[in-house]
A = this chain, B = another copy of it.
């Protein structure tokens, strides 16, 4: 047995929250599905009290909807949510890039995720392509060295991944962006900030459109 699956310092609630979070992002729950406290508690082998803590956690992350006296439901981000997420993304990511210095360590991480995405594409592992794409943008936000802004961005990405989880085939949603990620990274490495910002803006507009189109296709 490897070093993985160790003691796991985190509390039970935190651990289960991470599990459910992963399931949500993988689309293992239907959108807007109700999550009963009793069912979920017994399914994960924890008490109802602990499960409620888990629900509060995930609700504050925007992955669950909580309606008083009615229960907890899987968040079902629709077109309006996608538009809003991209609106916020444009502001945050452009602001982060504008603050970037040419030798910021996050640029190297961006470069690394591009390489990994290319490797994943070669293997046809589209799930990993999507994950590394998220990491690419996450690294981009780190350019501005603001943990709080990065945390806010994490929430946006998590919600976006929830949208992806509801779609059947996400391969077309990520493939075109591998090359664009590479181009963006190069601009940053050359210190061409304003050029990078305008490219990023076009990038996000295009990405938003393809996500919206996929969402409509699904109905």
Contacts and interface: CB of A to CB of B under 8 A. Distances in A.
Interface of A: 9-11, 49, 52-53, 56-57, 60-62, 68, 84-85, 87-88, 90-92, 94-96, 99, 144-149, 152, 155-156, 159
A175 to B, nearest CB: 27
Contact of A88 (B49, B88, B152, B155): B152
Contacts of A85: 148
B10 A144 contact: no
Contact of A53 (B53, B91, B147): B53
B147 A84 contact: yes
B149 A87 contact: yes
A11 B91 contact: no
10 contacts: A11-B68, A56-B57, A62-B148, A87-B144, A87-B145, A90-B95, A91-B92, A91-B96, A92-B95, A148-B156
A196 to B, nearest CB: 15
A146 B99 contact: no
Top-7 shortest CB links A-B: A91-B95, A152-B152, A60-B60, A88-B149, A87-B146, A88-B148, A88-B146
Nearest to A90: B95
A84 B147 CA distance: 7
